[in-house]
Amino acid sequence: MIRAMIYSLFLIISGIFSSTPSSAYYLTAHDFKFNDINGNELNLKDYKGKVILMVNVASRCGFTRQYEGLQAIWEQYKDKDFILLGVPSNDFYQELSTEEEVKNFCDLTFGVNFPMTKITPVRGKDAHPFYKWAKSTYGTKTVPKWNFYKLLIDKDGKVVDTYSSMTSPTDKKLILKIESLINS
């Protein structure tokens, strides 16, 4: 009986300190799907070989003016193996109620034409599976701290960097990183 308990404890401790990576480790961003703002499937595997900048966005946030910079980098790099993906989220209670309202606001106010998802949770227990994967694989640095938090993903589907809401989409360090990934 004691021997069985000791063996069970050994197995539990071995599992905790195991060097075997979780199954999430073997996934990449390309293994996830979203629904786009029009309700169509948006499959990240279609972006293999492209650099992806994912940004959780909100229409009523103090950082909403960043849509201008996002649209500018989209225009500059969209034909150069780059995808900008806006992920509207109401996790911080600053997004409009419907996808139609978000789409109209972004189009009429900022001329946004880069791909966007439907309104999607990006943190907590209800987070989209992509964001849960990013957190379990790359840690809490990938969890959006606020709206306009940026995740930069390389051509292989791995998160390579994160940028706070305070980082402008046209920030020189971000642009240089995007360019180096595009050219790699």
Element spanning 152, H or E: strand 150-153
Residue type, 131: Y
> Do the strands 82-88 and 51-57 form a parallel or antiparallel pair, or are they unpaired?
parallel
Question: Which of 69, 68, 45, 65 is closest to 178 using CA atoms?
Answer: 69
61 is an active site residue: yes
Catalytic residue among 51, 61, 96, 112: 61
- Token readout for 97 is 């109620």
Q: How many Å apart are CA 25 and CA 98, to the nearest integer?
A: 34
Percent composition of the chain: helix, strand, coil (DSSP 3-state, to 5): 40, 15, 40
3-state secondary structure (DSSP) of residue 72: helix
Active site residues: 61
